[in-house]
Amino acid sequence: MKPTDMPKEGAEMTEETEHMIEKNCAKEPENVASAGDAKEMRVVVLTGFGGLNKLRVTKKPMPDPLEGEVKIRVKACGLNFVDLMVRQGNIDNPPKTPLVPGFECSGIVEAMGDNTTGFEIGDRVMAFVNYNAWAEVVCTPLDLVYKIPDDMTFTEAAAFSMNFVAAYMMLFEVANLREGMSVLVHSAGGGVGQAVAQLCSTVPNVTVFGTASPFKHEAIKDSVTHLFDRNIDYVPEVKKISPEGVDIVLDCLCGENTGKGLGLLKPLGTYILYGSSSMVTGETKSFFSFAKSWWQVEKVNPIKLYEENKVMAGFSLLNLLFKQGGCSQVKNAVHKLFSLYNEKKIKPRVDSLWALEEVILYLLGDK
């Protein structure tokens, strides 16, 4: 299932997909007990780093929750840019293959391990998982599981966690977004980009500058104040509109954009690096792109930041969750985001839905 990326309006689902999702994902909590008796589950497995041909749908033994874990019958899982980078082996310290990709899912609580309080069987939840989300069943620590609002669908929830939490923490906890500020965001039509745009609209008089491929502009033009073609040099375009620059730059491209972003900051402005999309230039990992991005990154001297009154930061939600013990900070952000969702101020945009069997066809471009 693919709850991110643009440009189609709303979730697109064929009748065939709907049938497969209905057939394989029991809709009501009462079906959970019988589904829980199965000894195996279906998963999407990555057999080795590389191209799309490394992905297979296969079966694995049904996992049991360990102490402190919640077992979830997955209804939807997110496909994010980071999953593509994992597939290519384009990440720091990748785990060994074969592995089951996926860092986020939504579903119904099916069982709990020992010492697990706060959840009941049948609860509707979304969760972060340290890999293994592209499966029918997932077990993950209690601290990474959140009960979702009644109105939130499972597909919305699977498109919510990574995109909105990353956007929220960068804007409000790292950069301290306030009334009247301006924000530049790259990949404005992507999952994080759209979450950034929606969250900016919750603060009065925030101007959003965004870059995106031209074919997405029509679909996202209402969410971004000034949209630029990703293929042009956006620096002079931003300066034409705002000669003094911007308050916040969110850079997920890396490479030469780091220097450009820092150059666009107003005094006391914040630049945040949170991705390295420009390292991806084809279906498989390219050492040339990797080296080029690395070489182009501005080497920043802290004394220059001090003299120019600029803030430079980095943000990685997965590292915060899985390596740095940041679960309670993330939980706090999730609760604030749920309030905004309940107030109808934000809403994840789901591009399309795919049944598990279709994922491989979709990724191979047969759909």
Ligand X SMILES: NC(=O)c1ccc[n+]([C@@H]2O[C@H](COP(=O)([O-])OP(=O)(O)OC[C@H]3O[C@@H](n4cnc5c(N)ncnc54)[C@H](OP(=O)(O)O)[C@@H]3O)[C@@H](O)[C@H]2O)c1
CB of 336 to ligand X, least distance (A): 17
Cβ atoms 337, 167 nearer than 8 A: no
Q: Considering beta carbons, is residue 81 or 134 the nearer one to ligand X?
A: 81
DSSP track, 127-164: EE-SS--SBSEEEEEGGGEEEPPTT--HHHHHTTHHHH
Question: Is residue 212 a contact point for ligand X (CB under 6 A)?
Answer: yes
Q: Is residue 293 a contact residue for ligand X (CB under 6 A)?
A: no
- Which member of 258, 278, 293, 352 binds ligand X (CB under 6 A)? 278
Cβ contacts of 164 within 8 Å, gap of 6 or more: 195, 199, 337, 346, 348
Q: DSSP E strands: which ranges in 14-173?
A: 40-46, 55-61, 69-77, 104-112, 124-128, 137-141, 145-147
Least separation in angstroms between residue 103's CB and ligand X is 9
Q: Mapped to the 3 state alphabet, what secondary structure does 245-268 carry?
A: CEEEEEECCCCCHHHHHHHHEEEE
Q: Which of residues 166-185 bind ligand X (CB under 6 A)?
A: 166
Binding range to ligand X, per CB under 6 A, among 58-66, 120-128, 221-229, 278-286 = 278-286
Interaction of residue 158 with ligand X, rule CB under 6 A: no
> How far is residue 305 CA from its own chain's centroid?
30
Burial of 235 (0-12, 13-18, 19+ CB in 10 A): middle
- Tell me whether strands 182-185 and 311-314 are parallel, antiparallel or unpaired: unpaired
Nearest to 297 by CA among 264, 261, 266, 257: 257
**Residue 253 in contact with ligand X, rule: CB under 6 A:** yes
Would you list the DSSP string of 315-335?
Answer: --HHHHHHTS--HHHHHHHHH
Nearer Cβ to ligand X, position 282 or 302?
A: 282
Q: From 19-27, 76-84, 104-112, 241-249, give the range in contact with ligand X by CB under 6 A.
A: 76-84
Quick check: 177 and 171 in contact, CB under 8 A? yes
Among 80, 88, 132, 161, binds ligand X (CB under 6 A): 80
Q: Are 164 and 144 in contact (CB under 8 A)?
A: no
Among 25, 159, 162, 248, binds ligand X (CB under 6 A): 162
Residue from the set 252, 262, 321, 355 that interacts with ligand X by CB under 6 A: 252
**Cβ closer to ligand X: 90 or 116?**
90
Find the shortest distance in angstroms from Cβ 245 to ligand X.
21
Q: Does 73 bind ligand X (CB under 6 A)?
A: no
Return the residue of 81, 168, 271, 362 that touches ligand X, per CB under 6 A. Answer: 81
Residue selected from 5, 136, 143, 358 as contacting ligand X according to rule CB under 6 A = 5
The C-alpha torsion from 251 through 287 and 43 to 194, rounded to 10°, is 20
Smallest separation (angstroms) from ligand X to the CB of 327? 14
Q: Does 242 bind ligand X (CB under 6 A)?
A: no
Task: State the minimum distance, in angstroms, from the CB of residue 198 to ligand X.
Answer: 13
Query: Contact with ligand X (CB under 6 A): which of 213, 284, 286, 296?
Result: 213
Write out the residues near ligand X by the rule CB under 6 A: 4-5, 80-82, 162, 166, 187, 189-193, 212-213, 216, 230, 252-253, 274-275, 277-278, 280-281, 315-317
